[in-house]
Structure 1
């Protein structure tokens, strides 16, 4: 769904009720999750499976509409100075944390300085230019910047910049605080309980600042690792919302009790890519990386693994980021003969068994990523590259790629938006090579020319000049090719047809569900 279709889709979502719940909209919504996050506070973690839960517990300073423009949430008014060096936020009065303590500007200032800039993989970059946060009164926070940051407003959702309660964290190591596992938030739902490996339960916050919301009494996030089991649970009504194997989408779409929603918006857009460990000598020759790109049929991946849900990625910036995306970049058509020639030119002849290289390939632990890795293994074998696909759980994958750096190649996806400076830059900026920080510059790519383009775009206030810098970035990225973009994937979710208004912002499933209702059959 594009932006023009987004608003219409929100209005068209049909209504429902589960388990005989009354038409008032109260009731329990059960959502399937493939895996369980370690933490429930995404201010301190960028695990992909954390956001759907954490965003219900914590409201963002801002939300974002279908047009991508900011909307009030915990901040009711905002103003940027003409020179881009000051952002003033006026906060909503009467907001309280779930323990009854008042929320205010002191929480914002502490979160910027002590959490986002220190411990968040994306926030360390996003808020790097924030020198200090002034608190002239309890409901005003003034961010003072050393350089302009034109993307900063886009970063103030709960997804990107979750404010934590200072009174529960100050004086402790935030990473070790027990509240990460049982959060005290300020959102429409409160944490109730957690059964490891089974489910996480939230309940309606009766003191939520937005009177009358939320309209659902309980949210249950059930861990269902097997995608086929998610599809079966949706069909029986055991769960009412979840992501399924893309191979099952067409069948479930034909079920009159279910609805399929496809989301492709700046806050949820992603690019899945094949990454190289550039510390491996063999990958320092760009011809080897180019050969890998020519050996992979991305159209095959889109059709047979993603079942058409997305687009072939020809740039590190996906088409959903419309004001920045460009296809005017070096393109690598599927051409195994060209791949063979490049590997020959790089001095990698085949041995008697026809093998040039033997390497490891580590996919992110997700069904489509594993299937992509298996396909790449087959495709590279045709040009003499033998790949061993290694499967592991999420924690081991992150440790292997970003801490031990014990890998050759990896299949990795990640949110690219809502602005390239927030979601895309992290993969390519040399200063974002940070061992131990997940989903950062794991390739160890370093280019002074690339850094100048990215750092220029970080601070450029003129939209036209900023776009030109990102066009330069895309051309450089596709020339140097530290990672091969494969698929710009859309997010597909299946819901019971009686679930209404669970998507109420551009954050999609990562919205706060305050408007979701369960209607009678």
Structure 2
């Protein structure tokens, strides 16, 4: 019996090694020597192109995804990054931001904050119009709050800040048809009053208006599936939609009446491109701009016709545990799944993984080991002193022993404390050349400490199916590998509060509730106080392990050398200024 266990462990170690090596292969050539890390910090933020711009032209943009975009093309309904990619061209929020993601006066509206920091007054500029010609009004922003706060709204923007609007609780409960804290001062001016001062007013306030007149005949419950959102959405951004092939491509034309002036391009052609051909599409000029997977970095760096831009992204990868379910009626997460309630099991699974080696070898340094769930793209709030989890197989095994998970039948896998089989059903999504070896590496890492882990249904899930199963708390899913784009507001409540739909772990904790409230309390206008709160919160997440933060990432973009003005600088509204310097792509 002991031989079975020993052989199993040896095979696991060899499998992990071979998976790392196979993930380091380039194209069809497989090397037994891992390629060197890339110094991603050396990538510039801005496109360098001093050539003279041509008049107009069509930019070809690659939405890199192995699946169709969902088509929830409104800022108050989208839930996936592909839809966000589409939205950036034709819609925007009213308030602009500076390089620290703080609202400033550079956007389509200006604002004033009251002396008590409870009321924000937003004034929309006179020349801001929807792409159908209707003016963007104060009622359009009020309509956003009426939609998102309504019981019939089924998406995820009804967050803690939204709930703090005066009168929102009564409106959400159906006691009134108005929100008392929202006042229309004139057709272009609106004030919103909150129950308490909250520093996220200056970073996380929803200033994404919805075209009330255009959507007037659609019931709130049917908005997300309506043609006005899916097939013929309108915005007030630099481009407007000419044609959509659902899930596949979008043709944009310049919005000549854009509030900042007509964009320099005639239009943009966005098309979904599989990650496996991202760099090939850049090489042959089929795309002017595209993100590309980390495993294609060598190919991308060899191309003479593109510039690579990069920065640390507002994102992190993670392994999440399904600890319960979301109660839609009560609008609360309920932590009632006993399978992973013992945090020592969660800790053991974290210590089994070598995230540094994954980042260095699989992602060539374009992703790097995460220590906490606030990424370093928030330098003020990221706590570098949280130790994170580094691979320690002996510690992992000891934790499982202490928790009573032992191999009682000699099959090489641990049973639970009651002697019953303990199987971990792991959900991972497809999307790149290394998706399969990465998922297998996680599985083999857990097998190496005696845990019987396997892929749900024996295969990877495509993105839309993956998130559908995670959101609906599919009972087949025990553990899942996800990723979050955090947005520009440092407040993590939207992902972690007890009532957050995005709290996919369904983790609840009294100290978590307290710290999240303190982080958005009036005291948190004191930056030092807020930093201290979020440091404590990050340590709590590490200690309780509702998820394992695995990797931070660099956003890397390949840009054809005929493109001018592409800019990754934080807070910069650069799309209207993008131009081309030749009729045809540089090849």
TM-score by structure 2 length?
A: 0.79
| Counterparts in 2 of 1:476 and 1:82: CA distance versus 1, 3 Å | same
Match of 2:329 in 1: none
- Are 2:224 and 1:175 aligned? yes
For 1:149, the equivalent position in structure 2 comes to 198
Pick aligned residue for 1:29 from 59, 75, 84:
59
CA deviation after TM superposition for structure 1 residue 336, in Å: 0.6
Among candidates 250, 254, 264, match of residue 204 of structure 1: 254
1:29-68 per-position Cα deviation (integer Å, ceiling 9, x unaligned): 1111114322222321221111121121112212223343
**1:360 alignment counterpart:** 425
Cα 1:149–1:366 change in 2 (3 A) is farther
1:247 aligns to 2:295 (yes or no)? yes
Pairwise CA distance, 1:303? 1.0
Cα distance change of structure 1 residues 251 and 200 upon mapping to structure 2, 3 Å threshold: same
Q: Which residue matches 1:437?
A: none
Task: Give the equivalent residue in structure 2 for 1:486.
Answer: 550
Shift in alpha-carbon separation, 1:324–1:144, aligned structure 2, 3 A = same
For 1:338, what is the secondary structure of its paired residue? helix
Going from structure 1 to structure 2, the CA distance change for 1:197 and 1:127 (only over 3 Å counts) comes to closer
**1:455 maps to which of 490, 501, 517:** 517
Question: What pairs with 1:278-427 in structure 2 (closer than 5 Å)?
Answer: 278-279=323-324, 280-329=337-386, 331-350=388-407, 351-356=409-414, 357-367=422-432, 370-390=436-456, 391-406=460-475, 407-421=477-491, 424-427=492-495
SS in 2 for 1:223: strand
Q: Is the 8 A contact 1:134 1:143 kept in 2?
A: yes
Question: What's the counterpart of residue 430 of structure 1?
Answer: 498
Determine the structure 1 residue equivalent to 2:211.
165
Which runs of 4 or more aligned residues in structure 1 lie more than 4 Å from their structure 2 counterparts after TM superposition? 116-120, 368-371
Q: Is the 8 A contact 1:59 1:73 kept in 2?
A: no
Q: Deviations over 1:392-430 (max 9, x none)?
A: 222321221111433100011111241231xx3333221
How has the CA–CA distance of structure 1 residues 228 and 99 changed in structure 2, closer, same or farther, with 3 Å as cutoff? Answer: same
* Equivalent position of 2:13 in the other structure: none
CA contact (8 A) 1:15 1:518 kept: no
Report deviation, 1:5: 9.1
CA deviation string 1:237-277 (max 9, x = no partner): 0111112221111321232211111122xxx4111110001
CA RMSD of aligned residues (A): 2.5
Q: Partner residue of 1:86?
A: 119
* Pair 57,485 (structure 1): closer, same or farther in 2 beyond 3 Å: same
Q: What is residue 330 of structure 2 aligned with on the other side?
A: none
Q: Residue 102 of structure 2 contacts residue 202 of structure 2 at CA under 8 Å; is this kept in 1?
A: no
Per-residue deviation at 1:99?
1.2
Contact 1:55 1:512 in 2 (8 A): no
Q: Go from structure 1 to structure 2 and tell me whether the alpha carbon gap of 1:386 and 1:363 turns closer, same or farther (over 3 Å shift).
A: same
Alpha-carbon distance change, 301 to 25 in structure 1, aligned in 2, over 3 angstroms = farther
Aligned counterpart in structure 1 of residue 81 of structure 2, from 48, 66, 84? 48
Higher Cα Rg, which structure: 2
Change in CA separation of 1:275 and 1:175 when aligned onto 2, cut-off 3 Å: same
Q: 1:364, 1:81 → 2: CA distance?
A: 46
Aligned pair count?
495
| Aligned counterparts of 1:507 and 1:262: Cα–Cα separation in 2 | 15
Unaligned runs of 5+ in 1: 17-21, 435-439
SS state of the match for residue 301, structure 1?
helix
Please identify, of 170-179 and 365-374, the stretch whose mean Cα deviation from structure 2 is larger.
365-374
Equivalent-residue separation in structure 2 for 1:72 and 1:450 (angstroms)? 34
Task: Check the 8 A contact 2:99/2:570 in 1, yes or no.
Answer: yes
C-alpha separation between the residues in 2 aligned to 1:119 and 1:141? 25
Distance 2:240 2:508 in 1: 43
Residue number in structure 2 paired with 1:194 = 244
> Is 1:13 matched up with 2:13?
no
SS at match of 1:316: coil
In structure 2, the residue matched to 1:19 is none
CA distance in 2, matches of 1:194, 1:400: 27
Secondary structure in structure 1 of the residue aligned to 2:503: coil
What secondary structure, in the 3-state scheme, does the structure 1 residue paired with 2:81 have? coil
C-alpha separation in 1, matches of 2:558 and 2:279? 8
- In the alignment, what sits opposite 1:184? 234
Give the deviation of 1:123 after TM superposition: 4.7
